[in-house]
Chain A
Amino acid sequence: MYSSETMTPQTLLVELHSNFTTEGSTTTQFGLLPTEHQEHETIELTEGINDWSEIGFYIFTAEKSGNGVQWVGDHIRPRFRIPPRWHWPVGVSLSTEFGYARAAFSNPTWSWQIMPIVDQNIGRWYWSVNGTMVWDVHVVPPPADSTPQQKQFYYTNVAPRGVTFGPAATLTYAPSKLFNFGIEYYSYYGQWGNFVPLHYQQQQVFPVVNLFVSPKWEINFGAGWGATAGTDHLIVKCVIGRYFDWSHHRPGSSESSQ
């Protein structure tokens, strides 16, 4: 989930995203490896550019018993926001992400994502909506011996061509500065204007806890249940983030002239 806020200039956030699929697919489907007991480790680097933009970079990896650690792919993600000095009542940001992922783990392989983000803090409450739209730049074709019906099913429900849509949202409550808790919702509806049947959609809800144990560290932990047949049934995730302030002074301090 993304908030509309961008990274502070001269600050680098290094995050390790760990996802473990406890219950997922158990067979290879259309060339995609089974997801059950697959561990995904993603390194995300985010550098603030100015008070309205940042650039992010992902290194995706996957690990499964018997297959070892494998590089999955890389994405680059520039993101822009409405500067807070414009005094909009809600935070608004636009993220765009482009990159490659290997066909064994992702279909499409090359993709371009555009994600508008809207969020708002209301006292202790926070909500955010991410509208993820992905243009599948390169889709792996179905097996050559597929029947026309199988090809239609494939391009409709498995790897649609064109732009797909998958909104995500979160709602959290912050009892203290040190943590908040709430729910996150992730989904995949399929091709824009021609959504796949609910049975094949991905719908996941994660109860989450976000810990802000120090100004330099943040931790997100959640467990997600898939509500449809097209969703991995149980995923456990953890994100550990560390901020590096290139200005070499403690956060919020006025002691340095830089």
Chain B
Amino acid sequence: MNRRTFLTQCSATFAGAAFAPLLGQPAETEPDVKLEIAPLALEIAPRKTVHTVAYNGRVPGPLIRWPEGKPIVIEVMNRTEIPEIVHWHGLWIPSEVDGSAEEGSPMIPPGARLRYSFTPRPAGFRWYHTHIAAGHDLKRATYSGEFGCLYIEPRNEPCAYDQEIFLALHDWNAYMGASGDSSMEVAYEYSTINDRMLGFGDPVRVREGERVLFRILNASASMIHWLALAGHEMTVVAMDGNPVPTPTTVKAIRLGPAERIDAIVAMNQPGAWILGETREQFRKMGMGVAVEYANQQSKARWVEPPEALWDYRLFATTQNESREPDEVIPLRFESKFHGQGAFDSWTINGKSYPDADTISLRAGKRYRLQMTNHSTDDHPIHLHRHTFEVKKLAGSALSGLSKDVVVIPANATTDVDFTANNPGATLFHCHNQTHMDFGFMTLFRYS
């Protein structure tokens, strides 16, 4: 049984539940937010239209801002022909509403509507996206336009800024391409920031002297992206919505699929500049947006930044203030070759999902996930419904960096710690859509 079969069966299992309101919310009450999943022909540049599925007829979906701790009801209508589900990425919410069939959240059958009701926390930059399987259909799931930004407002903003800009990176028209190690990997035809290719969207308009807070999401199904704002530096203040212990100024930032970065930019170089992928081939595919100062209308310029190497430790601390783990869980990631014309399948501790063994946890205990990546790929690893602390990267210790996605380098070991404080089924997977569809998932469970 592969993941698509599994999800189809989940859909049948939960079809009845999907029509029922969740967590006691009366169906006749007006929801706080309405989302409609429907096909969309999205013009990303003149004469370049991608045929996709999106929320409320736009990409990204509507920005949802909501105060931390205030209950919210979100009604989702599925106007597609396949079962759907919406995952609320980065929130500490119950399994039943997390939006993952593997955890027990109900699917939304075609033509049906479902209400998600929960109390969102923690505060910070979260996002929402479809959590269905794509398999070999590279237009479905996170290859599509089904994503949007979700900002859970804290009582007090941790940093001061003059303007806040949400940007979502995405890659379009996926196809199977060659990779560096004989197997097939997904490649793309176009890239966008929000809904437009570089050169074809409205610029981000700023004023000299402003401190602009960019909240940037990598909503790509599989690509790790680098971004730089020509002529400027970026001060990273939060990762995955969580303030970093050491805000650090860098020339370029890297985001794996599903990672988010909040970065402050001091607008002190009047002109028109490109905020874009540092690698030319991705800018040519469209990944970029113009940033234009007031009264500085001109063709946006790109200035090649010096080579940067990404190191999470720049934003962490060496002071270990968290408690030691009660238990270490070793997790070994490997791929299985199925030919140069096929996707690899993936295993965690030798087994592919859904055949992988569920890992039992005990509430209140602190666990260390000791992840060894025995592959030649970097993997964006995501833990649902929890936040973890990155403790070791390729042999170097660090502390204080709280995330829900971390990119594990190839052929290296990475340790993250988390406390089992949100009982229920908890999905753990690679956020590369192909990898998760072909087995790179497992479940934790505790009550």
A interface with B by C-beta (< 8 Å): 5, 8-9, 50-51, 84-85, 87, 120-126, 174, 176-177, 180, 212, 215, 248, 250-258
Bound together, the chains give a CA A57 to CA B224 distance in angstroms of 34
Residue contact A252 to B307, C-beta cutoff 8 Å = no
- Chain B positions within 8 Å of A5 at CB level: 178
Q: Which residue of B lies closest to A83 (CB)?
A: B189
- Chain A positions within 8 Å of B337 at CB level: 174, 176-177
| Interface membership of B173, Cβ < 8 A | yes
Report the 7 A-B pairs with minimum CB-CB distance, sorted nearest first: A121-B341, A124-B339, A254-B224, A123-B339, A251-B180, A257-B278, A85-B189
Residue contact B254 to A252, C-beta cutoff 8 Å = no
Residues of B173-207 contacting chain A, CB below 8 A: 173, 175, 177-184, 187-189
Q: Which residue of A lies closest to B335 (CB)?
A: A177
Residue contact A258 to B341, C-beta cutoff 8 Å = no
Smallest CB–CB gap between B80 and chain A, Å? Answer: 23
Residue contact B410 to A253, C-beta cutoff 8 Å = yes
Smallest CB–CB gap between B305 and chain A, Å? Answer: 7
- Chain B positions within 8 Å of A50 at CB level: 281
| Interface membership of B217, Cβ < 8 A | no
Residue contact B341 to A126, C-beta cutoff 8 Å = yes
Smallest CB–CB gap between A4 and chain B, Å? Answer: 10
The SS class assigned to the B binding surface is loop
- Taking A87-B175, A177-B183, A252-B179 as contacts, is the C-beta distance between A258 and B410 under 8 angstroms? no
Bound together, the chains give a CA A73 to CA B365 distance in angstroms of 72
Residue contact A85 to B173, C-beta cutoff 8 Å = yes
- Chain A positions within 8 Å of B341 at CB level: 120-126
| Interface membership of B153, Cβ < 8 A | no
- Chain A positions within 8 Å of B279 at CB level: 257-258
| Interface membership of B342, Cβ < 8 A | yes
| Interface membership of B338, Cβ < 8 A | yes
Residue contact A258 to B224, C-beta cutoff 8 Å = no
Known contacts A252-B378, A253-B378, then 5 further A-B pairs from the complex at CB < 8 Å, ordered by chain A residue: A124-B338, A126-B341, A174-B182, A215-B376, A254-B226
Q: Which residue of B lies closest to A216 (CB)?
A: B180
- Chain A positions within 8 Å of B180 at CB level: 8, 215, 251-252
Bound together, the chains give a CA A256 to CA B101 distance in angstroms of 36
Interface residues on chain B, size class: 35 or more
- Chain B positions within 8 Å of A121 at CB level: 184, 339-342
- Chain B positions within 8 Å of A212 at CB level: 181-182
| Interface membership of B310, Cβ < 8 A | yes
- Chain A positions within 8 Å of B228 at CB level: 257
| Interface membership of B369, Cβ < 8 A | no
- Chain A positions within 8 Å of B309 at CB level: 255-257
Residue contact A254 to B254, C-beta cutoff 8 Å = yes
Residue contact A257 to B254, C-beta cutoff 8 Å = yes
- Chain A positions within 8 Å of B60 at CB level: none
- Chain B positions within 8 Å of A252 at CB level: 179-181, 376-378, 410
Bound together, the chains give a CA A193 to CA B181 distance in angstroms of 42
Q: Which residue of A lies closest to B255 (CB)?
A: A254
- Chain B positions within 8 Å of A125 at CB level: 339, 341
Task: Choose among B175, B252, B256, B307 the residue that contacts A254 (Cβ–Cβ < 8 A).
Answer: B256
Residue contact B340 to A258, C-beta cutoff 8 Å = no
| Interface membership of B308, Cβ < 8 A | yes
Bound together, the chains give a CA A207 to CA B44 distance in angstroms of 49
| Interface membership of B398, Cβ < 8 A | no
Task: Choose among A122, A176, A251 the residue that contacts B376 (Cβ–Cβ < 8 A).
Answer: A251
Q: Which residue of A lies closest to B223 (CB)?
A: A254
Residue contact A51 to B281, C-beta cutoff 8 Å = yes
Residues of B62-96 contacting chain A, CB below 8 A: none
| Interface membership of B245, Cβ < 8 A | no
- Chain A positions within 8 Å of B177 at CB level: 84
| Interface membership of B270, Cβ < 8 A | no
Bound together, the chains give a CA A253 to CA B410 distance in angstroms of 7
Residue contact B342 to A123, C-beta cutoff 8 Å = yes
| Interface membership of B371, Cβ < 8 A | no
Residue contact B278 to A215, C-beta cutoff 8 Å = no
Smallest CB–CB gap between A13 and chain B, Å? Answer: 13
Bound together, the chains give a CA A125 to CA B224 distance in angstroms of 30
Residues of B326-366 contacting chain A, CB below 8 A: 337-342
Residue contact A177 to B175, C-beta cutoff 8 Å = no
Bound together, the chains give a CA A25 to CA B178 distance in angstroms of 42
By CB atoms of chain A within 10 A, which of B175, B184, B340, B407 has the most? B340
